[in-house]
Amino acid sequence: MYYRRLGKTGLEVSPIALGTWRFGMEHEETGVVETDRQAAHELLDAYAEAGGNFIDTANGYGGGDSERWIGEWLAERDREDYVVASKCFWSKESRFQENLSRKNVRAEVEGSLDRLDTDYLDILYLHRFDDETPIEKTLRTVDDLLSEGKVHHVGLSTADAWKLTKGLWKADVNNYEAFTVTQPLFHAAYYEDVAEYLDVCADQDLAVVPYSPLAGGFLTGKYERVGDGTYELDAPEDTRAQLDEMFEDWYVSERGWHVLDAVRAVADEVGATPAQVALRWLIDQPDFTCVPIVGARTVEQLEENLGALDVTISNEQFQRIFAARYDEDGNLYKTNA
């Protein structure tokens, strides 16, 4: 395992982060828990043994179990060896609070610290942008938390590019701590949709830590198109396509199939799996530091994902995957999201 600087934070992190949103996640219709406590600790063990140090969670993942299980695991290790990121917007502390008010941000951070059994978060992401609360009030609250040592860096997850820019501007004029890390939805088949957001990140030297870097598993190559259809696919047993009714709406599209074809071709050329190539494509982004978050369900999946660090793709192969989103006339293939 090697490490890279996370944008302007000064943090040294492994090039792939471990996502824990599956920890404790229960599907209402089936009652299936994607990752239970034992499996969660096994994944954390495997990640740490491989040299991984960047753990991503949120206050509400698994109803709070994700943070609790990470906290149990960290209690037996040196906390300083790990970079832990969490998030706030939706409340775990009050059923009435879903915002970035001073009250909610402080309550959610305190709750996260308690569940994680730690004194500080390395990174606090604002999970969404709150249109009803002036962003400078939220940033003032986060600035206070930084002064108290409870948060070290602030980031932003899902938002429009202009809202990210507004947050940076408000931090600058008020001399508050500014965003240094972002967490958008971003993968090889989903670029134009967040291009302006990524342009801001490149211009302001913000690290990009994308979620769903494998398009919910679509870019692993485990799915096959049924006949000539765009949206119909053959899904193996117990995969996300079977568990999540929104899977096809979010990830299966004409553009996705073409990008997957290019990813598969490059994987064959370099002797890697499609998942490894899709992750390598993100890690090799030239304009900003990109550290994808993988949400593996098994140790075997995690080990395959980490194998992306041993894969090399050429600039021609990188550009071929990028260009796969366009038809011969230079038009973007359709996507759903």
C-beta separation of 198 from 205 below 8 A: no
Q: How far apart are CA 218 and CA 23, in angstroms?
A: 20
120 belongs to the catalytic site:
no
Kindly list the distances between the CA atom of residue 92 and the CA atoms of 121, 124, 292, 330, in Å, as whole numbers in the listed order. Answer: 17, 15, 26, 46
Choice among 47, 61, 197, 223 that is catalytic: 61
C-beta separation of 237 from 260 below 8 A: no
CB atoms inside a 10 Å sphere around CB 63: 12
Q: Which residues neighbour 253 within 8 Å (Cβ) at sequence distance 6 or greater? A: 189, 230, 231, 333, 334, 335, 336, 337
Q: Any bridge partners for residue 19, and if so which?
A: 56
Q: Any bridge partners for residue 187, and if so which?
A: 190
Q: What are phi and psi of 36, to 5 degrees?
A: -85, 180
Q: How far apart are CA 29 and CA 32, in angstroms?
A: 8
Q: How far apart are CA 125 and CA 135, in angstroms?
A: 13
Angle (CA) 25 101 66, round 5°: 20
Three-class SS of residue 39? helix
By residue count, the chain amounts to 337
C-beta separation of 125 from 183 below 8 A: yes
CB atoms inside a 10 Å sphere around CB 149: 9
Q: How far apart are CA 62 and CA 101, in angstroms?
A: 23
Catalytic residues: 61
